[in-house]
Amino acid sequence: MNSNTLSPAPTKNKKLIFWVEEVSAMTQPDQIIWCDGSQSEYNRLIHELVEQGMAIPLKRENSYLFRTDPSDVARVENRTYISSLKKEDAGPTNNWVEPEELKSTMRELYNGCMKGRTMYVIPFSMGPIGSDIAKIGVEITDSAYVVTNMHIMTRVGSKVLETLGETGEFIPCLHSVGKPLKEGESDDGKWPCAPLDKKYISHFPEERLIWSYGSGYGGNALLGKKCLALRIASSLAKEEGWMAEHMLILKLTNPSGLRKYIAAAFPSACGKTNLAMLVPTIPGWKVETVGDDIAWMKFGADGRLRAINPEAGFFGVAPGTSEDSNPNAMASIKSNTIFSNVALTADKDIWWEGMGTEPKFPLTDWHGKDWKQGSDQPAAHPNARFTAPASQCPAIASEWEDPNGVPIDAILFGGRRPNTIPLVTQARDWNHGVFMGSIVGSEITAAALDLKAGTVRRDPFAMLPFCGYNMGDYFQHWINIGKKTSADKLPKLFFVNWFRKKDGKFVWPGYGENSRVLKWIFEQCEGLGKSKDTAIGIMPTEDAIDLPKEVSAEQLKDILAVDTEGWLAELKDIRENHYPIFGDKLPSELKHELDKLEKNLKS
């Protein structure tokens, strides 16, 4: 570990050394530390953060609580940019600023921004080190909080530099909290960040470059996560013929020991992490976790898509996580975990709404203030997080770090829809499945002020905030992937919806009972499922899914029915409000699927 600006770098990669020197000259830190990824490094940084009043030690072994500034609690999508050379390459769903203009603005902000601070150089690998599917990044940051989280979320340190070698390519990721310190000044235990109008999370796809300024929050500051693993990686994947997707990966094993690997793309608040760590209610069936958030998929020598989880940890939403909703997540965070913006109990443990236990009073909320039962403000911020090593998950699959990836048998798409979309539908073929993925969305509730309640907010492939280029081209990339191998080697594609309602109540119990739907999907992959062809796709027969005790045969029939009127209204919305957004970039294959579905429904 080097803690002197004049110390030699622990690498001979000239491009990396030059970049670090260039950033140092611009940001003017007090010192530079090259991170080696060791436990002693992690322990030292955590100790410093505790001493500074930034981290609160918890009763859980090696676990700590951070409280962020109230203005820095989530991703800032309106301050996130895809700065491609041409505006049309960023597309209609991304914010765009011309690259040189954006860099000029940000250089002014970066100038001297690390004064009074340490500059950390974090070499990291997204994916198992040395995997053909993995990518190397280097994040420069002035936040020790970022370094400790990157230790958990990625593979950090000396082994990455060894793999990089003297001439290896890496993705440069520059981050600053945007709060320089004057001589003798400190943060005084307060979370450092810049005002909202000075926050920038910028991506330059042609240069494979990420610049982030002003935020210390996870998705804006842990640049290996959404910035590299999705926005830059999706652009790379288009160029190189692979896939970078906002998907969980799970391993499903039947009572005979036969296994299938399933990836799934759901928008936020649709149970992605819960499904990745699901505990089946069907005897003899087993779900194991490969990844809970991101999948990188490349074709193997056998012509099948093989996926890795590029991350090494879980950055999960805490509120709502409980022993009932996700016992494996609760087990994963018993030790070695960083928490942000959760509540603190009197005995130095953590608590949040939906945890399933009563808080121990006195309770301190995420602002650091006393919290009383019945308060109109939540004790934990709704986007409070935990950062935990994936290796601690009791359900982690043995092959979760296989550098060759796992072969994907099925891909699921789904959103939160109280009506119209059935419990499960299988696509007839690849293009039909791409159509399903392109129309994913969740119904807006009265809590969202920007859209009328009851309308659908589309989130194609759950990638709307994360696609690093024009989404119309992204749809075309999916179509093109389907042409790269034979149809029998492609994953089967499914549309699921756990959120159907009747009289204001959920019909399907969800959580572990979703294993009953996974069982049918497994059987379909084996060619053994009971199914029928319908106007909207292949669906289970009424006796194809084992019923949970809370669901009657009549209720199952209702949530598996084809709602012709509802689907025609859906198609009208897609034609008038969704597909026109993409203009002439919308693939003709998707227009064809839309026409075909309408014809089926009307015949």
pLDDT, one tens digit per residue, over 385-410 is 999 999 999 999 999 999 999 999 99
Q: Which amino acid is at 493?
A: L
C-alpha distance from residue 187 to each of 51, 69, 133, 270 (Å): 12, 12, 40, 37
How many beta carbons lie within 10 A of that of residue 585, not counting itself?
A: 16
pLDDT, one tens digit per residue, over 433-478 is 999 999 999 987 544 445 565 689 999 999 999 999 999 999 999 9
CA–CA gap between residue 3 and residue 447 (Å, rounded): 49
Q: Give residue 269's pLDDT.
A: 80
Q: Which CATH class is domain 313-392?
A: mainly beta
Q: Give residue 317's pLDDT.
A: 95
DSSP 165-218: TTT---EEEEEE-S----TT---TTPPP---GGG-EEEEETTTTEEEEES--SH
| pLDDT more than 90, % of the chain | 96
CA–CA gap between residue 88 and residue 401 (Å, rounded): 37
Q: Distance from first CA to last CA of the chain, Å, rounded?
A: 70
Mean pLDDT of the chain: 96
203 HSE (CA, 13 A, CB side) = 32
C-alpha distance from residue 21 to each of 118, 144, 151 (Å): 14, 20, 23
Q: Give residue 452's pLDDT.
A: 64
467 included as an active-site residue: no
CA–CA gap between residue 371 and residue 365 (Å, rounded): 6
Strands 171-176 and 200-204: unpaired
Q: How far does CA 502 lie from the centroid of its chain?
A: 30
559 is written with which tokens? 């949530």
CA–CA gap between residue 42 and residue 55 (Å, rounded): 13
Residue 588 has pLDDT above 70, yes or no: yes
Catalytic residue among 270, 393, 467, 525: 270
User: Minimal CA–CA distance to 217: which of 145, 134, 121?
Assistant: 145
Q: Give residue 453's pLDDT.
A: 58
Question: Buried (b) or exposed (e) across 299-322, using 16+ Cβ within 10 A?
Answer: bbeeebbbbbbbbbbbbbbbbbbe
pLDDT, one tens digit per residue, over 314-334 is 999 999 999 999 999 999 999
Q: Give residue 2's pLDDT.
A: 39
Quick check: 300 and 377 in contact, CB under 8 A?
Answer: no
pLDDT, one tens digit per residue, over 120-173 is 999 999 999 999 999 999 999 999 999 999 999 999 999 999 999 999 999 999
Quick check: 594 and 434 in contact, CB under 8 A?
Answer: no
Q: Give residue 243's pLDDT.
A: 98
Task: Check residue 187 and give left, alpha or beta (phi > 0: left; psi -120 to 50: alpha).
Answer: alpha
DSSP-based three-state secondary structure for 574: helix
pLDDT, one tens digit per residue, over 197-230 is 999 999 999 999 999 999 999 999 999 999 999 9
Q: Please tell me the pTM assigned to this model.
A: 0.96
Q: Give residue 568's pLDDT.
A: 98
Q: Which CATH class is domain 14-54+76-241?
A: alpha beta
Q: Which DSSP category does 518 fall into?
A: H
What phi, psi does 600 have (nearest 5°)?
-60, -45
Q: How far does CA 15 lie from the centroid of its chain?
A: 30
Q: Give residue 55's pLDDT.
A: 98
Catalogue the E-assigned strands of 38-79.
Answer: 55-57, 64-66
* Site of tokens 């004064």: 115
pLDDT, one tens digit per residue, over 356-385 is 999 989 999 999 999 999 999 999 999 999
- CATH number, span 245-312+400-602: 3.90.228.20
CA–CA gap between residue 495 and residue 527 (Å, rounded): 18
Sequence spans of domains, the chain? 14-54+76-241, 245-312+400-602, 313-392
User: Minimal CA–CA distance to 408: which of 266, 234, 271, 247?
Assistant: 247
- Cα three-residue angle 114-116-117, rounded to 5 degrees: 55
* Site of tokens 């990188």: 296
